[in-house]
């Protein structure tokens, strides 16, 4: 097991507090995974899918009150409120601990306490971190098997005196003697807490069994806690995909990209290049941890071992590589289980005659409720969990413990006007400004013209573990350290439309054409046109062969309307004002410089 005294004492402390029937130390083995799955199938919690159609795969239905991250119940519990900043829910750590200790008291009665030793990143990597999650949910254990590296080898690396991040989780549903368990145990919404004690690098979660609320290596550790650790230790924990693009001569370029939701992040991570001779491989689809290497370049690892993807909309058309990744050894949550014991979701691109919906009720496509509204088979936030190693385009070096050297940062958002297809930052500080102002137009109320842009700095707004201004300052400081070794920064917008509402860019695999231009810029093969907002492609440098894009559409796709851009800067200024008085002077300087260039 382990001789780490700090870990043994902590497990004993939690055992006395939560009062489980038994304690089990996870070893990460296939036997352990199979046994827990068999137990959940026997209890009715898990559904075994057809072995021929979907080998070693299972489906789960959550409670209707427990279907997504609960931002309103997610807290940064720093000692000082100002350390949490305007983008987080702050709560006093002393008061919160008192509340949660009362909830934890006896919360695991009738259940097993599982101790999960896990590594975020390849075990032993100099960029990796070790976490220990205590949970009473076998669903969490099996998902953590896929999403992280679990096992005794983690305890070996931890050793007798190694440091770990304590992650405590309970579904918050103790069982009385003889009481039958529910299919999906959880606590009511008002008792759910996902708490990050950033001054001591500790995570406490109570009441939810779903996704990032319960798989504490995901957003809780990998971003909220890690971003704060990274600030103090001089590295970066970012909500970024990582990919490798290789040109016909065999030169490799490594790209990290941050996009707000609904901007094609997973599609880009698993991109299939349409440019002859240029190959793209996936290193990670969601999170990048980056440290400066011995020669001064920034090296990145994907700290996760699996994909935790949104199912609806994933199809052979939109993301064939993601669909191939879930062909076996996968966990599905809140999808349709079909009559022939496979899975289905909306926009999957295949026919479904019927089955059980995400509420485990009989369902057929086209069903409507009493008000005539279409009943969805899969929940909009239904998920798949699958090993990253199963992705057909996974990079051979995706688990290199030293990471890959990052050449390019990409930021983006969903904008139908104003922002061109692609532009490059003048320098790294300008690139930080581009990341800090990443924004999308509102989608839920698109007709409400007075509604502001939705800013999502570096796609990290819900995940920054400290004050957003300090976070942006950390980006500037990393640029200072990297100097001329800093990655080049670009901003993309795949979603530009013409006045008739037609998409101007085909997107999907054709985005490889834009990545090719970026790589050639980094290699110094091509020049760029200087505009007020950044550097843009010279005529003929962005490959358009074979695309049905007229010269007029291309001009509109690349147009920089200074009037529209100036108007959007009012939104930017208002957003920056929400950061408070300690906003980075360098960020304001970049905004002022952009204003003057646009005049």
Q: Which residues pair with 362 in a beta bridge?
A: 356
Catalytic residue, candidates 18, 263, 282, 519:
263
Query: Whole-angstrom Cα distance, residue 461 to residue 259?
Result: 11
* Helix axis angle, 468-482 to 226-233, nearest 10°: 40
Phi, psi of 489 (to 5 degrees): -115, 135
Q: What is the dihedral of CA 440, 287, 222, 324, to 10 degrees?
A: 110
Distance separating alpha carbons of residues 518 and 532, to the nearest angstrom: 19
Please name the residue that has the structure tokens 């920056």: 576
**Tally of residues, the chain:** 599
Whether the Cβ atoms of residue 410 and residue 255 lie closer than 8 Å to each other: yes
Within 10 A of 191 (CB to CB), how many other CB atoms are there? 15
Judge whether 395 counts as a catalytic residue: no
What is the C-alpha to C-alpha distance for residues 25 and 152, in angstroms, rounded to an integer?
A: 9
* CB-CB contact of 239 with 460 (8 Å): yes
| HEC sequence for 239-268 | CCEEEEEECCCCCEEEEEEECCCCCCHHHH
Mutual angle of helices 585-598 and 468-482, in 10-degree steps: 80
Which structure tokens are listed for 162? Answer: 């190694």
E strand or H helix that includes residue 298: strand 298-301
Q: 468: which 2 tokens?
A: 């957003």
329's tokens: 């050894």
Local structure of residue 137 (DSSP, 8 states): -
3-state secondary structure 107-131: CCCCCEEEEEEEEECCCCCCCCEEE
- What is the rounded end-to-end Cα distance, in angstroms, of the chain? 67
Catalytic residues: 263
């Amino acid at each position: 097991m382990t001789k780490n005294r700090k870990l043994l004492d902590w497990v004993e402390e939690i055992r006395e507090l939560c009062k489980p029937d038994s304690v089990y130390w996870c070893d990460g083995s296939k036997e352990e995974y199979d046994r827990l799955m068999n137990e959940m199938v026997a209890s009715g919690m898990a559904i075994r899918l057809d072995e021929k159609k979907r080998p070693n795969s299972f489906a789960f239905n959550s409670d209707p009150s427990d279907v997504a991250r609960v931002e309103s119940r997610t807290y940064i519990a720093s000692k000082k409120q100002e350390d949490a900043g305007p983008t987080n829910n702050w709560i006093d750590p002393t008061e919160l601990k008192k509340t949660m200790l009362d909830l934890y008291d006896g919360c695991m009665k009738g259940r097993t306490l599982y101790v999960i030793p896990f590594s975020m990143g390849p075990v032993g990597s100099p960029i990796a971190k070790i976490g220990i999650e205590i949970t009473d949910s076998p669903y969490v254990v099996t998902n953590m098997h896929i999403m992280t590296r679990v096992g005794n080898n983690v305890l070996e690396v931890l050793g007798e005196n190694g440091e770990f991040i304590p992650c405590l989780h309970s579904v918050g549903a103790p069982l009385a003697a003889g009481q039958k368990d529910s299919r999906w145990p959880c606590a009511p919404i008002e008792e759910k807490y996902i708490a990050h004690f950033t001054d001591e690098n500790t995570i406490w979660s109570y009441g939810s069994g779903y996704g990032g609320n319960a798989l504490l290596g995901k957003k809780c550790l990998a971003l909220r806690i890690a971003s704060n650790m990274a600030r103090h230790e001089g590295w970066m924990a970012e909500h970024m995909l990582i990919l490798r693009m290789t040109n016909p001569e065999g030169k490799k370029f490594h790209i990290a990209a941050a996009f707000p939701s609904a901007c094609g992040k997973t599609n880009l991570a698993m991109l299939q290049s349409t440019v002859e001779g240029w190959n793209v491989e996936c290193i990670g689809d969601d999170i990048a941890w980056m440290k400066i290497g011995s020669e001064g370049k920034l090296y990145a690892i994907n700290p996760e071992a699996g994909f935790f993807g949104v199912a609806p909309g994933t199809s052979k058309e939109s993301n064939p590589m993601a669909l191939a990744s879930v062909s076996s050894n996968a966990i599905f949550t809140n999808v349709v289980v079909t009559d022939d014991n496979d899975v289905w979701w909306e926009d999957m691109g295949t026919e479904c005659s019927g089955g059980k919906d995400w509420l485990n009720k009989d369902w057929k496509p086209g069903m409507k409720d009493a008000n005539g509204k279409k009943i969805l088979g899969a929940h909009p936030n239904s998920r798949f969990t699958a090993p990253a190693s199963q992705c057909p385009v996974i990079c051979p070096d995706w688990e290199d413990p030293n990471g890959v050297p990052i050449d390019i940062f990409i930021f983006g958002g969903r904008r139908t006007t104003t922002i061109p297809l692609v532009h490059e930052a003048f320098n790294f500080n300008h690139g930080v400004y581009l990341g800090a102002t990443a924004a999308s137009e509102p989608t839920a109320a698109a007709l409400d013209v007075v509604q502001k842009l939705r800013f999502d700095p570096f796609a990290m707004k819900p995940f920054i573990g400290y004050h957003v201004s300090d976070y942006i300052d950390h980006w500037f400081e990393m640029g200072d350290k990297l100097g001329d070794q800093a990655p080049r920064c670009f901003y993309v917008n795949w979603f530009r439309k013409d006045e008739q509402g037609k998409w101007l860019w085909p997107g999907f695999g054709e985005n490889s054409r834009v990545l090719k231009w970026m790589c050639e810029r980094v290699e110094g093969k091509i020049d760029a046109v200087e505009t007020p907002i950044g550097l843009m492609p010279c005529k003929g440098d962005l490959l358009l062969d074979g695309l049905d894009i007229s010269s007029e559409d291309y001009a509109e796709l690349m147009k920089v309307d200074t009037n529209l851009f100036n108007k959007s800067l009012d939104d930017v200024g208002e957003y920056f004002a929400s950061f408070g008085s300690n906003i980075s002077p360098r960020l304001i300087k970049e905004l002022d410089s952009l204003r003057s260039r646009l005049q």
